Structure 1
Amino acid sequence: MIWKLLLAPVFLYFIIVLAMFLFQDRLLFPAAMVGGARMPPGAELLRLQAASGETLHGLHLPAAGGPAAAGSPLLLGFGGNGWNAAAAAEYLHALYPDHDVVVFHYRGYAPSTGRAGAAALTADSLLVHDEVARRFPGRPIVAIGFSVGTGVAAYLASRRNLAGLILVTPFDSLRDVAATQYPWLPVRLLFRHPMPSAEWLRGRRLPVAILAGGSDTLVRPECTDALRKAVPNLVFDRTIAGAGHNDIYQRSAFQLAMDGALRAIKR
C-alpha cells in the first residue's frame, strides 16, 4: 500500500511530461485559436506554393499616399504565435505608414495550409523573402519579428542578406524560454522547436535593433541578454520600463522606440 502511494506522484509526473511532449506543438503554435483574417483596406493579396505542397497566404500593404520613397526599405513582418498576418500588417503599417509592409500567415494558420512548427516557419521565411525580393526588385528588406517571430526573422537573417533586423521581445533560444517557464520539466531533452536565435545571429554583421519589456515574465531578461551578447552589430537597444510580453505594443514609449529602431537601422 505504501509503495503505491509513493509511486502515485511519479506516475502523475510522467503523465504531465508525456502530455507536454505530445502537445507542445499546439501550445507553442495555437493556430486553431487565432481568429480569422480580416483584410485591411487597400491590401494586396499574396499567395505562395511551398515545395512540399502547402499554400501560404499573405498580404501587402502599400505605403500611404503613393509609392514609397526611392531606397526606402520594405518591411517584412513575422508576428507572434497568436497573431494573424492581417493584424501584424496593420500594426506595422500604423507604425510605419510611409513604408510598404508584407506579412504572411504562418503555415497552419488559416488561410495558409499545413502544420505549424519551428522548422516549417523558418523554411517558409526563405520562400517568403525570395518572393518579396522578386516582386520588389532592388528594394532593401528589413525584417521585423515579434515574440516567436523574432526566431523566424533571426533564421532568415542567417540565410539571406537583409538591410536590417528589428526584434521585439526576442530570445536567445525558444528552448531556453520554455526551460525557464517549466524548470521542473526536462524541457531541453524533449523540446522539438529550439529556434536558436543567438546561434543564428552570431557573426552576422547586419544592423540589429532589440526592444524588450522591462516586466516581461515570458521571455525573461536572461534570455534577451544572451541574445544581445551574440549580436555583433546592435545599433539600437531599448527596454520599455514596466512593459510585459503582451502589453508592450500599446505603450507610447514602445511605439516611439520602434520609430527610433528603424531610423537606427537606416543609418
Structure 2
Amino acid sequence: MPLEANQTMKNPGRPGLFRPALLSPGMFARRDSAGLIVLVLPGGTDDSRKPFSAWQGSALRMYPFTWSLRLRYGRSARVHQVRYRVYGWNGEDNSPMLPARAALDEMCRRHPGAPVVAIGHSMGGRVAAQLAADRRVIGVLALAPWWQHADWRHIQPGARVVAVHGDADERTFAKRTRKGIDELSAQGVDAEYINVPDGDHAMLDHVGLWQRSALDFVGERLSALRRA
C-alpha cells in the first residue's frame, strides 16, 4: 500500500526558506558533547527506486520538527534529519535502514556517549522502530507510523516509546499502532499511545499537537537523563 507516493505539502512555503545545508555532511563537522542525539526520519513509500530528494514532500514535512527542536534545545540535543538514498522501503531490501544506521553510527561517533532518540513519520516510524533494536536508542516517537510487520517488536525493552496517530488516517492504521503500544506495554516497555481526533496522515491538521509531541518527547528524555 503506497504511503506517500506523489504526495506533497499543500503549503510548503517559499523555497528560499529551506536550506540544503541542513542535510549536508558538514553538519557532522563538530565533535563535542551533547546530552542527546535526535534522528528525524522522514516518510516514504512501499516500493520505489526513485532517488530521495531533500525537496520532496516527505522531507519537507519534517523540517519544521527538525528546526523547532534545534531552536528549543540548542546544544543539549544534536538534531539530524536523515536523508535516504531512495524513496521506497522495497521489500526485503529495507532500503532506508542502511543510511539510517549510518547516520546513527556517525552521530554517535561525533558525540561519544550521547544516547539517541528516533522521531519518525510514516515509513520513518518503521525505520525508528527497527533502529531501536540498538541499545544506544533510548526513545522512539512514532508519528502516524507504518508498522507493517509488527515492527514495534524490534524495540529493545529499555526504550521509551510514544506513538501519535490520527483516527482519520487512511494511509497507515491507527488500530495497528495502538495494538503495538498495547503489546509493548504488556511486556513492561514504557509505551504510550496518543490519539489525534480527526487527524490525517500528513500531519497538516492539529499542527500544534504534532509539533508539541516532538518537543515534549525530547524535553522529557533530556530531563530523564539529567535525573539519572
TM-score (norm 1): 0.60
SS of equivalent to 2:114: coil
1:6 counterpart residue number: none
- Structure index of larger Rg: 1
1:245 counterpart residue number: 201
User: Matches of 1:88 and 1:138 in 2, distance apart?
Assistant: 30
User: Matches of 1:235 and 1:253 in 2, distance apart?
Assistant: 18
2:143–2:163: 8 Å Cα contact kept in structure 1? Answer: yes
2:210 counterpart residue number: 254
1:157–1:165: 8 Å Cα contact kept in structure 2? Answer: yes
1:80–1:146: 8 Å Cα contact kept in structure 2? Answer: yes
1:40–1:90: 8 Å Cα contact kept in structure 2? Answer: no
User: Matches of 1:250 and 1:102 in 2, distance apart?
Assistant: 24
Matching residue within 19, 29, 53 for 1:40: 19
Report deviation, 1:253: 2.3
Distance 1:89 1:239, change over 3 A: closer
In the alignment, is residue 91 of structure 1 matched against residue 64 of structure 2?
yes
TM-superposition CA deviations, 1:81-128 (whole Å, max 9, x none): 17855635622233312243212321225xxxxx75251222332222
TM-score (norm 2): 0.69
In structure 2, what residue type is equivalent to 1:217?
E
2:152 counterpart residue number: 198
- RMSD of aligned alpha carbons: 3.5
1:104 counterpart residue number: 82
2:120–2:126: 8 Å Cα contact kept in structure 1? Answer: yes
Q: Which runs of 5+ in 1 are unaligned?
A: 1-23, 48-58, 110-114, 175-193
Distance 1:60 1:236, change over 3 A: farther
2:165 counterpart residue number: 212
1:169–1:210: 8 Å Cα contact kept in structure 2? Answer: yes
SS of equivalent to 1:142: strand
User: Matches of 2:28 and 2:206 in 1, distance apart?
Assistant: 23
Distance 1:108 1:262, change over 3 A: same
Report deviation, 1:198: 2.5
In structure 2, what residue type is equivalent to 1:75?
V
In structure 2, what residue type is equivalent to 1:247?
M
1:60–1:103: 8 Å Cα contact kept in structure 2? Answer: no
Matching residue within 117, 122, 128 for 1:147: 122
In structure 1, what residue type is equivalent to 2:167?
G
SS of equivalent to 1:165: strand
Report deviation, 1:215: 1.9
TM-superposition CA deviations, 1:173-203 (whole Å, max 9, x none): 32xxxxxxxxxxxxxxxxxxx5x313212x5
SS of equivalent to 2:25: strand
Distance 1:71 1:127, change over 3 A: closer
User: Matches of 1:226 and 1:220 in 2, distance apart?
Assistant: 10
Report deviation, 1:33: 7.6
